[in-house]
Amino acid sequence: PSWRWVGAQDARLVLAHTVGNDTLTGDSLYVADVTGTNGVTALDAARILRKSVDPTYVFGVESDGSAKEVAGSANVSSTLTGAGVEGVNNYSLSISDVNNAYSINVNITYDINTASVSDIMSNVPSNYISAMNHNKEEGVINFSLIGANSLPNLQNLLTLSMSATSGIDLGNVSTSVTV
């Protein structure tokens, strides 16, 4: 395939696919895997965004069809304020010590029997693209952030306003991250 004419909108479509807001199929799904990992991730969207601003950038699959991407790294920390008890609690995620990370995908799960999310605020710099999907019926939040340049350290990247529905505590809130 030729990736000569890719743009930020292409990156946005791929990113929407990674969080479940849109579905790529057929040829669109095939060409979206620019890292050659046999799956479309936020990193593919980040690489497409990078190529949209730097046409000389070469995707991992452009040379010989094999993946050439090196994964970046970042530390992710979470903070719960409000002690996780009845009333509004803020659950914040921050990223630090970023090293060559052009994308991050955060998956947050919570028990819908003990907690509810009333608001989600994101602290995304204007020159980065993000996508989010919140499935309230399953208690799952998927959030992806990409950039044409390596991501910066971000305090309070996401802040969730959560309430304990059981009147006791929030129960289990877990976070998994892919850089």
Query: What digits encode the pLDDT tens for the residues 75-134?
Result: 878 877 765 556 677 888 888 888 888 888 888 888 888 888 989 999 998 888 999 999
Over 50: is that where the pLDDT of 156 sits?
A: yes
Radius of gyration of the chain (CA): 18
Quote the pTM value: 0.77
Q: Of all residues in the chain, what percent carry a pLDDT higher than 90?
A: 21
Instruction: Give the number of residues written for the chain.
Output: 179
